[in-house]
Amino acid sequence: MTDKPIALVTGAAQGIGYACAEALAEDGARLILSDVNADGVDQAAKRLGHGAVAIPCDMGDPDQITALFDRIEEEHGIVSILVNNAGIAMPADFLDTTPEQFQRVIDINLTGTFLASQRAAKGMMTHGIAGAIVNMSSINAQVAIPSIAAYCASKGGIMQLTKAAALALPPYNIRVNAVGPGSIDTAMMGGVNANPAAMAKVMSRTPLQRVGAPREIADTVAFLASRKASYITGGDDLCR
C-alpha cells in the first residue's frame, strides 16, 4: 500500500489505454492495467514499469468486473481514478449485424462502463475518497457510420451516461467526464490507414487534417483525472 492514488485503466494492453496508463503514471498514480488480452496486458504492465499491475478482465462480463474490483481492493486499495477505455467495434453492414454482435458491443462499451463506474464510485463514496472517472466516448457518439451502428449507439450512450453520473456523484466529491477521440493512430483504425479513399473521407471531417496520436488523447484524460480539472465535471470533449 502507498499514498499514491490508485488508477485503473481498462483496455490498457495497447493504444489509447496504454497511453493513458503511461500519462497517469507520470503524474504519480499507482497503475492497475486491465484488458481481456491477458498476455498483452501483462507485457504492457512490465513495459510501463512504475510498479504497474496487470489484471485480465472481460469488461463485457459483470462477474469479471466484480472480481476485478474485489481483487484490487483486497490487494492494493481503493480506486480513486477510473479510466473506462475498453471498447470494441465489430464492423458489419447495418442489415447484416446480428443481435449477438450488437449486444456484445453494448455489453463491453456501455454496460461495462456503467458497472465499472458504479463500483468505483461506491468504493470512493464508502471510503470518503474524492475521485475522478473518465469515460472514453468517440466522435461517433455524434457522427454516425452505418457499418458500426452498435459502436455509435454505445458511444452515444456513454456521453449520456457520463452526464447522468456527473449529476449523481458530486455530493461524494466524484467528478465524471468523457473524452471523444476522432481519428487516432491505433489498431482499430488500421483498415482506414490502408485505404486512401477512406482516409480522404476521414480527413474531410477532421479540422486539424491529420490523424491523432494516442498520447494526445491520454494527456487530455490525465488532465481530467487531475486536480487541475477540479471544477470540471460532465464534460464530453471531442478531440479531433
Contact 1, 18 (CB under 8 A): no
Contact 36, 54 (CB under 8 A): no
Contact 88, 108 (CB under 8 A): yes
18 is catalytic: no
Residue for cell digits 485503466?
9
Cell of 184: 487516432
Contact 44, 20 (CB under 8 A): no
Q: What is the largest CA-CA distance in the chain?
A: 52
Residue from 18, 151, 172, 231 carrying the catalytic annotation = 151
- Helix (H, G, I), strand (E, B), or coil: what is residue 142? coil
Catalytic machinery residues: 151
